[in-house]
Amino acid sequence: MPQTSISPREALDDVPRQRRPRHIAIIMDGNGRWAQRRGLPRIEGHRRGVASVRAATEECARLGIEQLTLYCLSSENWKRPQHELDLLMQLLEQYLIEERTTLINENIRLSVIGRREGLPGSVLDEMDKTIELSSVHTGMKLCLAINYGGRGEVVDAVRAIADDVRRGRLSPDDVDEDTISEHLYTAGMCDPDLLIRTAGEMRVSNFLLWQISYAELWVTEHCWPEFREADLYAAIRDFAARDRRFGGLKPLA
């Protein structure tokens, strides 16, 4: 029987809730490669990737995951050909409109991290509308990283902290890890427990560099358009089996 036909309850029935990740972050990689292997335009891979976004979002919500963060567009992706970027912006705008029904039905609250500069006004308008529409929802938090870069996020946090010091609102001696976390785009969010990467790449690609310090990494050879519920179940099951010591040692028996 194909794994995709297994219900969430059956697939993870033996995995205790306390062993599952609270926050899953995903680097969605391989859309272009998936398309090129099939003789299709790269943008077709991005279109097919939207279905994987929908499947992962709905399944995480049903499984009771507290937060899902998806790496949609990096600050480095602006180096791609202009026609591909234009199509990506169209897809993003379309997604923000069409997925409102999913957010409502699944009680999902949307947020976005990254720099707004450079994004088309129409995308920003639909983004803000969707965030506002879902702001009353109390279920899973869905965070989209758009025009995002981990180093840029740290730079922005340092600038904000420096400004607080300059204005006398903060003493340099009081700056600690909590101070930095509170000035990141992700302020108020819990750090990811599990970082999933598709397409077999073994790097974090400037994604949530501060926040993933103790995240468990899980990599699949499947490209993002191929990612489905069975892959999500496998990642959660593998996460649950790991011994997370956070730099410490397990007590000797």
Q: Is the pTM of this model over 0.85?
A: yes
Question: Is 174 a known active-site residue?
Answer: no
Q: What is the rounded CA–CA span in Å between residue 199 and residue 36?
A: 13
Domain residue spans of the chain: 19-239
Name the active-site residue from 13, 14, 77, 174: 77
Sequential DSSP letters for 180-239:
HHHTSTTTTSPPPSEEEE-TT--S-TTSSTTTTTTPEEEE-SS-GGG--HHHHHHHHHHH
Question: Is 193 a known active-site residue?
Answer: no
Name the active-site residue from 29, 31, 147, 231: 29
Place of tokens 């965070």: 143
Q: What is the pLDDT along the chain (253 residues), one digit of tens a residue?
A: 344 555 655 679 889 999 999 999 999 999 999 999 999 999 999 999 999 999 999 999 999 999 999 999 999 899 888 999 999 999 999 999 999 999 999 999 999 999 999 999 999 999 999 999 999 999 999 999 999 999 999 999 999 999 999 999 999 999 999 999 999 999 999 999 999 999 999 999 999 999 999 999 999 999 999 999 999 999 999 999 998 876 665 655 5
19-239 CATH choice from 3.50.50.60, 3.20.20.70, 3.90.1150.10, 3.40.1180.10: 3.40.1180.10
